[in-house]
Amino acid sequence: MLKNNFRLGILFGIIAGLMTFIFGGWSVGIIGVLYGVGLGLALSGRLKREAPLNMARQALPLAATASAVLLVMSLLQNYVIAPAIGQSSAGSDIVIPANLAGILGGLLFTLITAALHGLPDRQEQIGKLILLAAIIVAFPFVDTFTGLFWLAQVIFALIFVILGMGLNIVVGYAGLLDLGYAAFFAIGAYTTGILSSPLHHIFLNFWLVIWIAAGMAAIFGLILGTPTLPLRGDYLAIVTLGFGEIIPVVFRNLIDVTIEEPFSCWIVPGIQRLFGGTSTLSCIYIAQHLNLTAGEQGINPIGRPSLPVLGLFTNAHPIPWYFLIIAIILMSIFLINRLRESRLGRAWMAIREDELAASQMGIDPVRTKLLAFAMGATFSGFAGAFYAAYISGIFPDVFDFSASILILCTVILGGIGNIYGVIVGGLVLINADRLFLPALKDFLTGLLKSTILPALAHNPTLQAAVAENANPILYRYLLFGLTLIIMMAVRPEGLIPNAQRRMELHEADEAPNVTATASTRN
């Protein structure tokens, strides 16, 4: 038991240390705190429950091991790795405070989290919430102070967290596999773009537009949900995929919108001309050569939110954006949790388990499924509006199939049907994509330039091939694809699964469902 725990501590230390290899500099401070909380959480389940102080004492040797490992690796990074990738070692003015913050933070937070487990359930929960809130509030300021500038990418990850939570309603709660979810994201973003940009000279306030965007997304959720009602399983997935493909094409090409009333414009005149008459009707035009979405050029710039004290939100100061999206996420978590426990939420889960039985129990499947699509779409409407305002520009390529799959990936990685799992999945996957891979790329580029390529100088072909392919950004979607395959093979219920779903999946392992394979085919 104890030996296992030590192994855990060393593992956490090594993982955290490897992260400092990639990021370098001040990162050891933030990484230290984060791994401290993670280690504390991982530990608290394994240790015997005692008084808080005793819990802390139990965790101490382990936390110290992990911190020591981290310190060694961080110093190694600074004095061995950094020169090898062609960077100068950080001066002692950064190394000493950063490492101190990392070690002490890691130690302290491990102990606090472990100690919290010693408290009664209710107090433990409150304590964890306070700890989490403190980290969430402190993060942007620490980030700015240390000059790491992770915030802009973390905000992206948080946008995907909202998207994941919305998709989770459709896929996780109602059990309808939606492969075109990015379409609703696009609708939210384009609504914002059209209603507050110079393109049409409409400048509505962001605080109004975000609700309109959510409403539009919900309406399209209903519209696109209607044809899928009689379908199940993979056919439903394909229809949603079809919609998900049509919507970006539509936005890409709505640059010359001409809507003419067909009867007055050509059907009646055509018939008249056919019989030798002359046309008497005047054509009714609704729109002529209207550039609705600006096509490939995208809509740019888009209006941004402003608040009385903070003024207009800008790119230079990501902190207000960060708190705005945190607020949206908190609101979404609250709403989704209420929804899930409501009559509607229970109806979703009943439909997911067995549609026929559910409808026999008085649940209206049509209404339930449509509301699942509409509710799921609403949250992506929020995300779309925020995204459009944050980037201040939208382009159709962002919303294609790979975006839908990326969102699905976060849901599956985190755990289908569990909102907290989805949050973790989104944070892990999108940060890996936007923070870790670029940093890894810089790391590899530096390593190649300063160490590996000179060593390969005798073989120019190999040197060129290595230089060409050592770009992890190139492999990002490959990694997502592999994530899906591996998750399905190893842990289909996700990292933090929904308890009920895990039970179902493992039940299925023990007794393979014979009827699933022997259906009516010819």
Task: Select from 62-70, 156-164, 323-331, 471-479 the region that touches another protein (CB under 8 A).
Answer: 471-479
The token duo for 9 is 């501590």
Strand partners, 290: 257
Rounded to the nearest whole angstrom, what is the least distance from the CB of residue 493 to another protein in the complex?
Answer: 10
Restricted to residues 267-286, the positions that interact with another protein (CB under 8 A) are 267, 270, 286
Q: How far is the CB of 506 from another protein (least distance, A)?
A: 11
CA neighbours within 13 Å on the CB side: how many for 131?
24
Cβ-in-10-Å burial (0-12, 13-18, 19+) of 458 comes to exposed
Residue 6 or 266 having the CB closest to another protein: 266
For residues 32 to 71, the per-residue mask of contacts with another protein, x marking binding by CB under 8 A and - elsewhere, is ----------------------------------------
- Applying CB under 8 A, among 211, 235, 285, 334 the residue interacting with another protein is 235
Q: Which are the contacts of 338, defined by CB distance < 8 A and separation ≥ 6?
A: none
Region 395-414 residues binding another protein, contact defined as CB under 8 A? 401-402, 405, 408, 412
C-beta of 119 vs 238, nearer to another protein:
238
CA nearest to 20, candidates 66, 70, 68: 70
Residue from 63, 189, 195, 239 in contact with another protein (CB under 8 A): 239
Count of residues of this chain found to bind another protein when the rule CB under 8 A is applied: 73
Q: Give the DSSP H/E element, type plus range, for residue 231.
A: none
Nearest by Cα to 92 from 105, 75, 114, 107: 75
Q: Which stretch in 27-35, 82-90, 244-252, 377-385 sits in contact with another protein by CB under 8 A?
A: 244-252
Which of 42, 177, 371, 391 contacts another protein by CB under 8 A? Answer: 177
Q: Which residue, 392 or 483, is less far from another protein as judged by CB?
A: 483
Q: Given candidates 158, 237, 358, 374, which one binds another protein under the rule CB under 8 A? A: 237
Is the Cβ–Cβ distance between 83 and 89 less than 8 Å?
A: yes
Q: How far is the CB of 290 from another protein (least distance, A)?
A: 9
Choice from 117, 128, 252, 369 touching another protein (CB under 8 A): 252
Closest alpha carbon to 193 in 398, 335, 374? 398
| 238 belongs to the binding site for another protein (CB under 8 A) | yes
* Closest CB 445 distance from another protein, rounded Å: 16
Least separation in angstroms between residue 431's CB and another protein is: 19
Q: Is 463 among the residues that bind another protein (CB under 8 A)? A: no
Q: Compose the 6-25 pattern: x for residues touching another protein by CB under 8 A, - for all others.
A: --------------------
Position 449 contacts another protein (CB under 8 A): no
Distance of closest approach, residue 58 Cβ to another protein, in angstroms: 39
Task: Tell me how long the chain is.
Answer: 522
Neighbouring residues of 192: CB distance < 8 A, sequence distance ≥ 6 = 206, 209, 210, 213, 302, 384, 385, 388, 389, 394
Q: Which CB, 83 or 227, lies closer to another protein? A: 227
Q: Which of 305, 324, 323 is nearest to 314 (CA)?
A: 305
CB 207 within 8 Å of CB 324: no
* Cα(164)–Cα(287) distance, integer angstroms: 37
Binds another protein (CB under 8 A): choice among 198, 261, 315, 454: 261
Which of positions 66-85 make contact with another protein (CB under 8 A)?
Answer: none
119: its two tokens? 């408290």
Q: Which is nearer to another protein, 478 or 503 (CB)?
A: 478
Among 205, 481, 499, 507, binds another protein (CB under 8 A): 481
Query: Measured from the CB atom, is 48 or 232 closer to another protein?
Result: 232
d(CA 513, CA 520): 15
Among 254, 319, 447, 496, binds another protein (CB under 8 A): 254
Does residue 215 contact residue 381 with C-beta atoms inside 8 Å?
yes
Q: Which of 233, 277, 311, 454 binds another protein (CB under 8 A)?
A: 233
Least distance (Å) between residue 353 CB and another protein: 12
Taking CB under 8 A as the rule, does residue 488 contact another protein? yes
3-state DSSP assignment of residue 311: strand
Options 159-167, 259-267, 319-327, 366-374: segment touching another protein (CB under 8 A): 259-267
Report the distance separating Cα 314 and Cα 301, nearest Å. Answer: 12
User: Residue 328's CB: how many other CB atoms inside 10 A?
Assistant: 20
* Positions in 178-197 near another protein (CB under 8 A): 179
What residue type is assigned to position 210 of the chain? I
Our finding on whether 310 is near another protein (CB under 8 A) is no
List 260's β-bridge partners, or say none.
285
- What 3-state DSSP class applies to 347? helix
How many CA within 13 A on the CB side of residue 464?
A: 2
CA distance 251 to 249: 6
Kindly state the smallest distance separating residue 414's Cβ from another protein, in Å: 14
CB of 259 to another protein, least distance (A): 6
Contact of 173 with 340, CB cutoff 8 Å: yes
**Do the Cβ atoms of 241 and 402 come closer than 8 Å?**
no
Indicate the residue among 218 and 408 with the shorter CB distance to another protein.
408
Using the minimum distance from each CB to another protein, give the nearer residue, 58 or 228: 228
